[in-house]
Structure 1
């Protein structure tokens, strides 16, 4: 059963968090609209698509900023409790500091459950509309795919490679298709200067086509200036859009990662990082809640302003750590799992240290 103190603190926790969302998300929408309205008009974006874009924008950005809103909310209302000496009164009545934290843990649990279901099932759907609109009207003509040195394993025997890919023209350069037999020996190899998807004919056009077929110890060479043909792969499979992992729900993402790993995708770490970040996000809610309570439960000379300033500094350091290790995982061979674990472990230790100081 929740006591009066539990209900009082929990109500303040959830109310302040909700108010923070209601205040800052509309501001974010207005800032984004002011920045992008010119591009929307120039590219003739329909009104109904603009409305849906901002619905998706609210879900997408809100999910990204959930931990920061949560952190600042806890600092804000806990600082008010400390300034009004309510925390002193609670602890002086015989309530331990650990017992005082219980409503915060309950609140963090509720927010963590909400964050889990949003990031696993709701946000992926919003991400589809958000990113499609962005690349269609706001970043028109800009690349939304990995475009260099693309290697894919289509199945157990077939491999393809292009040195570069232009998604706008559906054109790949220096194309290679190789098929191996069960003995891992080359059956044939197709190479072409260019490969282009011809949508009206539903086939591929190869320029400077050459096919080398190996029969026993004999190689048969076939070449043509141009050849229209079909392949078992889709042009979109050649290189998925850069934001594709964001559009997959919990189950789809696991399947997609397995498929890309089988194909030997060069940017597999980007997809795995998205997966681990989703699982870590609910844990972040607890860590930031404990840090926020530790920082703001002590009455300071600077009052709420000092607590908020210190809290904002910690929030920026956390974001910095998260971005640095995320970039390392995406751009190098650094483990995506470690890229997610390290910031949470560092700030988990910081939360423990600050809690010990707050108790004293």
Structure 2
């Protein structure tokens, strides 16, 4: 017995099924591609920091919301292109429109599905991703306390910490004490230091969620390149602070970790002080605007999917990647303008949506009203560009 959803006809369920299947495949493939890009760093954590595979799986689970937030819009575009492309190639779209079913009616299940994905993407942006990012920082801190010494080996120049090279003559893993320590500190290119100490110990700082490398009885040899001077300083006790993000190679993403109320409060407090926090304002604006791309890509996919592609699914996949790359590039430019205060954050982050909304509505109107040339489907400019590019690559 098949469950019938109220208000959804057989046509709606058929179109939705044709779109959802490639959408799920697209989410899996695109997410896997993003995770693969992090595999080198994750492998380094296993090898150099002694992190277990279970802990790596936990870290992947925490960064997955950020990945899915990016893959959802592209997967929707890919799913609609594949689904409508398949139905168009089999003349099902021609048959449906010959029976009086308009493109507006065919787009109803697609846009309904897009609204569901939009709601899910908004939930990720406003709630799940900030929660996951804050827990990721806490997880990295906990790992850094127990695993940092695993990445330090005796009588080896260790480069586990970016900007630091650590040499240890002897190390006791039981109490994290070290003897014969030499450190090259090049985190500040303008002032590079070489630190030599008889003894050292790693101390966790739970309040600041950092690690302190406390050194005893040593000297600091410093070189200032701008002034072309050097200095030598002796010390009895010297503390070198290392953040867990530095230990694990994670950049500072404070606005992305804030919940919606905290983010709004941060923005209002910064405005009240006369020093706007453009990073926080850009993050808040992106949470509103980026999920909207899901709806625009769905509408765009309906129009572009009506025309059969010579290259089949591979060509449609290439077009979806190209369109998403264009959107992502516009988003990065808008993000830069907003973070530098050149434009209001909401206005700047809305620019990619405005461009794609104009393109999507124009192509959909042409397709729905059959205003294209005879025998040519909507989106001819895009498809013709793809075909010309393919011909240019073929040997003469």
What TM-score do you get using the length of structure 2 for normalisation?
Answer: 0.61
Q: Does 1:52 align with 2:41?
A: no
**Which one of 91, 102, 125 corresponds to residue 97 of structure 2?**
91
Aligned to 1:315: 324
Does the aligned pair in 2 maintain the 1:83–1:303 contact within 8 Å? no
Paired residue total: 269
2:275 paired with 1:260:
no
Aligned match of 1:344: 353
Corresponding residue number in structure 1 for 2:337: 328
Q: 1:286 aligns with which of 260, 285, 295?
A: 295
For 2:3, the equivalent position in structure 1 comes to none
Residue 17 of structure 2: aligned partner? 11
Report the CA distance between 1:291 and its aligned residue: 0.9
Deviation at 1:252, TM superposition (A): 2.4
Q: Secondary structure at the match of 2:288?
A: helix
Q: Does the 8 A contact of 1:295 with 1:307 survive in 2?
A: no
Contact 2:130 2:256 in 1 (8 A): yes
Unmatched segments (≥5 aa) in structure 1: 144-167, 170-198, 203-240
Q: 1:201 to 1:280 in 2, by over 3 A?
A: closer
Structure 2 unmatched runs, 5+: 1-6, 152-158, 164-186, 189-204, 209-250, 371-396
Alignment of 1:299 with 2:308, yes or no, is yes
Superposition deviation, residue 48 in structure 1 = 4.7
Aligned counterparts, 1:272-283, within 5 A: 272-283=281-292
What's the offset of the Cα at 1:319? 0.9
1:111 deviation in Å?
A: 0.7
1:116–1:282 Cα contact (<8 Å) kept: yes
Partner SS, residue 291 of structure 2? helix
Relative to structure 1, is the Cα distance of residues 26 and 258 closer, same or farther in structure 2, using a 3 angstrom cutoff? same
- Corresponding residue number in structure 1 for 2:127: 121
The 1-side partners of 2:206 and 2:136 are apart by 28
User: Which residue in 1 is equivalent to 2:108?
Assistant: 102
Quote how far apart the aligned CAs of 1:314 are. Answer: 1.6
Q: TM-score, normalised by structure 1?
A: 0.66
CA distance in structure 1 between the aligned counterparts of 2:112 and 2:69, rounded to whole angstroms: 20
Q: Distance in 1 between matches of 2:56 and 2:294?
A: 32
Contact 1:287/1:348 (8 A) holds in 2: yes
Post-superposition shift, 1:142? 5.4
Deviation string for 1:48-79 (max 9, x for gaps)? 53222111122221112221122122212221
Once the two structures are superposed, the pairs formed by residues 166-205 of structure 1 within 5 Å of their partners are: none
Per-residue Cα deviation, 1:143-181 (whole angstroms, up to 9, x for no partner): 9xxxxxxxxxxxxxxxxxxxxxxxx99xxxxxxxxxxxx
Cα deviation, residue 28, structure 1: 3.4
Aligned to 1:21: 27
Following superposition of structure 1 onto structure 2, how do residues 163-242 of structure 1 map, counting pairs within 5 Å? 242=252
- Shift, 1:107, TM fit: 0.6
CA shift in 2, pair 1:134/1:328, >3 Å: farther
Superposition RMSD in Å = 3.2
Partner-residue secondary structure (3-state), 1:101: helix
Q: Secondary structure at the match of 2:101?
A: coil
Larger RCO, structures 1/2 (Cα 8 Å, 6+ apart) = 1
1:248 maps onto 2:248 in alignment: no
